Amino acid sequence: MTWGLERATVTFGAKKALDDVTMRVSPGSVNVVIGGDGAGKSTLLRALVGLVRLSAGRSLRPSKRAFGYIPATAGLYVDLTVEENLAFVGQAYGVIGRDYLTRSEELLERIGLTEARTRLGGQLSGGMQRKLALAMALLHRPELMVLDEPTTGVDPASRAELWRLISGAAAKGAGVVAATTYVDEAHRGSMVLLMDQGRVITAGSPADIIAAVPGRVGAARGSDRPAGHSWRWGTSWRVWIPGGELPAGAQQVVPTFDDAVMVASMSNAKES
Amino acid sequence: MDLLVETRSATMRFGDFTAVDGVDLSVRSGEVVGLLGANGAGKTTLIRMLLGLLLPTRGSVLLFGGAPSRSARRRVGYVPQTLGLYDDLTVAENWAFTAAAFGTAHPEVPESVSGSRRELVRDLSLGLQRRVAFALAFSHDPELLVLDEPTSGVGPLSSAQLWEDIRASAEQGTGVLVTTHNMEEAEQCDRLVVMAGGRVVAAGTLGQVIGDRHVVQVTCDDWRSAFAALDGDGFIVQVQGDQLRIPGSPARVEELFQRHHLLGKLAVVPANLEEAFVEIGASESRP
C-alpha cells in the first residue's frame, strides 16, 4: 500500500501553511523533507498523520496502530524512566508479553540505553532522548514512520546511529517520511522534497534534483561577488546562470546537491 | 596575521570531571575556524574559558594576547544558539539597548535588517532573527566572533546570506570561531578542530581531518536485503538513496555479499566529514 498526500492544502486563518502538496510514500522508501523555519515541514507531517485538518486534498495513511510519529519536540515522557516509556507505548499499541520483551530489549540494545533503562527520560542528553523517542516510535513495527526533525541538535555520531535505525525500518518495508533542516541529510533519502512557504519547490531523488538544474553553475575566487545569481561557498563563490555564458573568471563545475538546492530556492524566490 | 585566541594546554576540571583537557587552540585574524565535537565533548566549556567566564584549572588562555578581561570581552561578538535577543522588544529597541550596553554610537539599524526595524523580534522568522543577532554581534566591530550553529534551522537562502555576512566580516580581518554539529557549516570553515572527551582529537583543513579515511560504497539493485544482511552481521551501514556506505575493509564486505548471494558493485571511495567524525570519535572512546 502506498501512503501519502494528494493535493493537500492546510490553511490557518488566511495563511496557507500547506499549499497543494502531493507526495507518495511507498513501502521501504525513505522520503526526506527539507526546508527552513516556516517552510511547512511540520504541517506536512502533521497532515500526513491526521493531526491537522486538510482544507483541500486528501491524506492516505494506515490505521493509527500502523504508523509511528515523532513530533519535533519531546516524543517521550520526561517523568518516566527509559523502560517505562517503552512499556507505555507497548501497552498503547498492544505490543505485550514475550513480543514486548524481545522487541524492547532489542531496541534498548540498538540505541545503547540498556544500562540506562532506569534513568528518567528527562535526565537523558538531547541525543539520547531522540534515540529513545525513535525506539518508542519503532516498537510496534509501524508501516509508516513519520519523523519530525529526528536529528536536529544531535551530534554527528548519534545522528548516524539514528539514521541506521531509520534505514533499518525502511529495509524491513516501512515507508519513512523524515523532516530535516540539514541539507546533507537529503542524501539519505530515496526521495527528497524541498519546501518553502508551504509549497514543494522541487522533488525527486538527489540525482534527479541535480540533473534538473537549468543552465550552468560555476565557481569563482576573490572577494567580489560575481555577476549573476551568486552565493558564498567557503572562501569561494558559486554562481548560477539560467541561460547563457558564465561571467569571466568563473569556472564551470558539475553542480553539487547543495548547488541544486540553492538554484531551486533562488528560482522559487524569483517567481514568487 | 594576529593571534586573537591562544590556549595552551587549557584544562578545566569540575571536581573529578575533566571537561577540557590540555587543549591548544588558536584563532587568527581573518580565519573561520570550526569547532566540532559530540555533546559533552567540552566545546561549550572551552568557549566559556575563552570568554573569561571560567578560569582554567591548568594551562593558559589568552584573548588578544592578554587575560580574557572585561575590556577584552568587549572586542568579542558572541551569538549563542538561543540568539540572546529580547523577544518582546522591536529590532530597533534591541539595537539601541546593545549600543548602549557596549557604549557604541550606532544610531541607525543596519541596512541588512532595517526592513523589520519596527517589528517585535518574536514575530520575525528564525532566519531574520539570526540576521538581527548577527547584526548586533557585528555592531561594535568585534575582532573575534563566536557563533554557535549560526545557520541551523534556516532555509537555504537565509543560510547563504548569513555565510556571506560571516565571510565579509572575516575578509575585513575578524577571526571567527563557529561551533557546530552541522556538516554543511563545518565544510565552509577554513580550518576545523575536533574535540572528544575534552581533548582535541583532530585538527586541520577539511581534507586533513578526513585524511585518507575511506568507506566501501555499494551500489545494488536491492539495498534492503543488503542492508539487512550487513546490519545483521554488525556492520555500521549508512544508506544514501540506493547506495550503502560501510566503513572497513572491502574484502569483508565482498565476502559477506558472496555468502548471502547478494549482487552489488563495490567501490572504495573517500569518507565524508561525518563518516570521518564518527570514526575519530569511535577510536577515541576505545580504552
Q: What is the DSSP string of A113-153?
A: -STTTTSBGGGS-HHHHHHHHHHHHHTT--SEEEEESTTTT
Greater pLDDT, A252 or B107 = A252
Least confident residue range of A191-195, B75-79, B225-229, B278-282: B278-282
pLDDT at B106: 66
Scanning the structure block, which residue is given the C-alpha cell 523532516?
A: A179
In a domain, A21, yes or no: no
Domain coordinates of chain B in residue numbers? Answer: 3-209, 214-270
Of B193, B98, B190, B185, the closest CA to residue B150 belongs to B185
Residues 6+ away with beta carbon under 8 Å from A207: B241
Eight-class DSSP state of A81? B
**Any chain B CB within 8 A of the CB of A233?**
yes
* pLDDT-derived band at A194, boundaries 50, 70, 90: very high
Eight-class DSSP state of A102? H
In a domain, A170, yes or no: no
d(CA A264, CA A26): 25
Q: How many CA atoms lie within 13 A of A117 on its CB side?
A: 13
In a domain, A260, yes or no: yes
CB-CB neighbors (< 8 A) of A168 in chain B? 227-228, 231
Q: Grid coordinates representing A158?
A: 548519534
CB of B276 closer than 8 Å to CB of B204: no
Task: Kindly report the three-state secondary structure assignment for every residue of chain B.
Answer: CCEEEEEEEEEEEECCEEEEEEEEEEEECCCEEEEEECCCCCHHHHHHHHCCCCCCCEEEEEECCECCCHHHHCCEEEECCCCCCCCCCEHHHHHHHHHHHHCCCCCCCCHHHHCCCCCEHHHCCHHHHHHHHHHHHHCCCCCEEEEECCCCCCCHHHHHHHHHHHHHHHHCCCEEEEECCCHHHHHCCCEEEEEECCEEEEEECHHHHHCCCEEEEEECCCHHHHHHHHHHCCCCCEEECCEEEEECCHHHHHHHHHHCCCCCEEEEEECCHHHHHHHHHHHHHCC
pLDDT at B286: 45
Eight-class DSSP state of A225? P
pLDDT at A141: 95
A161-165 mean pLDDT? 92
Closest Cα in chain B, distance from residue A132 (Å): 16
- CB count within 10 Å of CB A157 equals 21
pLDDT tens digit sequence for B240-257: 888 999 998 899 999 998
In a domain, A12, yes or no: no
- Which pTM does this prediction carry? 0.91
CB of B68 closer than 8 Å to CB of B51: yes
In a domain, A143, yes or no: no
Final residue of a structural domain among A85, A101, A134: A134
Strand, coil or helix: A103: helix
CB of B54 closer than 8 Å to CB of B7: no
Strand, coil or helix: A221: coil
Rg (C-alpha) for chain A, rounded Å, is: 21
Scanning the structure block, which residue is given the C-alpha cell 555577476?
A: A227
CB-CB neighbors (< 8 A) of A231 in chain B? 160, 163-164
Taking one residue from A and the other from B, the number of pairs with CB-CB distance under 8 angstroms is 134
Sheet harboring A30-34: ordered strands across? A67-70, A144-148, A175-180, A30-34, A191-196, A199-204
Q: Which of B228, B275, B278 sits opposite A171 (nearest CB)?
A: B228
> Does the distance separating the beta carbons of B39 and A171 come in below 8 Å?
no
Scanning the structure block, which residue is given the C-alpha cell 531522540?
A: A130
Q: Which of B40, B153, B278 sits opposite A36 (nearest CB)?
A: B153
Greater pLDDT, A173 or B106 = A173
Choosing among 3.40.50.620, 3.90.45.10, 3.30.70.790, 3.40.50.300, the CATH entry for B214-270 is 3.30.70.790
Q: Which of B187, B231, B242 sits opposite A190 (nearest CB)?
A: B242
Beta bridge partners of B247: B215
CB of A147 closer than 8 Å to CB of A130: no
Scanning the structure block, which residue is given the C-alpha cell 578581561?
A: B69
Eight-class DSSP state of A256? -
Distances (CA, A) of A238 to A32, A206, A231: 25, 19, 5
* pLDDT-derived band at B285, boundaries 50, 70, 90: low
CB of A37 closer than 8 Å to CB of B127: yes
Q: Grid coordinates representing B265?
A: 558493485
Q: Which of B126, B223, B240 sits opposite A187 (nearest CB)?
A: B240
Rg (C-alpha) for chain B, rounded Å, is: 22
CB of A61 closer than 8 Å to CB of A67: yes
* pLDDT-derived band at B48, boundaries 50, 70, 90: very high
Q: Which long-range contacts (CB under 8 A, 24 or more apart) does A241-245 make?
A: A241/A215, A241/A216, A242/A214, A242/A215, A242/A267, A243/A214, A243/A215, A244/A215, A245/A216
The overall average pLDDT reported for chain B is: 90
Reported in sequence order, the residue ranges of chain A that DSSP labels E, i.e. its strands, are: 3-12, 15-25, 30-34, 56-60, 67-70, 144-148, 175-180, 191-196, 199-204, 216-220, 229-233, 236-241, 251-253
**Any chain B CB within 8 A of the CB of A36?**
yes
Greater pLDDT, B127 or B76 = B76
**Any chain B CB within 8 A of the CB of A88?**
no
> Among the ranges A225-229, B69-73, B176-180, which has the highest mean pLDDT value?
B176-180
pLDDT at B49: 95
pLDDT tens digit sequence for A98-132: 999 999 999 999 888 999 999 999 999 888 899 99
pLDDT at A272: 67
- The domain in which residue A212 lies consists of 208-271
Scanning the structure block, which residue is given the C-alpha cell 555500521?
A: B236
d(CA A258, CA A260): 5
> Does the distance separating the beta carbons of A39 and B155 come in below 8 Å?
yes
> Does the distance separating the beta carbons of B167 and A182 come in below 8 Å?
no
pLDDT at A75: 83
Q: Grid coordinates representing B272?
A: 565524508
pLDDT at B287: 41
In a domain, A233, yes or no: yes
**Any chain B CB within 8 A of the CB of A11?**
no
CB of B132 closer than 8 Å to CB of B160: no
* pLDDT-derived band at B214, boundaries 50, 70, 90: very high
**Any chain B CB within 8 A of the CB of A222?**
no
pLDDT at B125: 82
Domain count for chain A = 2
* pLDDT-derived band at B283, boundaries 50, 70, 90: confident
> Among the ranges A189-193, B39-43, B276-280, which has the highest mean pLDDT value?
A189-193
Q: Among all residues of chain B, which has the CA nearest to that of A180?
A: B153
Eight-class DSSP state of A76? S
CATH superfamily of this structure's domain B3-209? P-loop containing nucleotide triphosphate hydrolases (3.40.50.300)
CB-CB neighbors (< 8 A) of A110 in chain B? none
CB of B193 closer than 8 Å to CB of B34: yes
CB-CB neighbors (< 8 A) of A261 in chain B? 156
Greater pLDDT, B199 or B220 = B199
Of B210, B165, B136, B130, the closest CA to residue A225 belongs to B165
> Does the distance separating the beta carbons of A188 and B240 come in below 8 Å?
yes
pLDDT at B39: 80
B34-44 mean pLDDT? 90
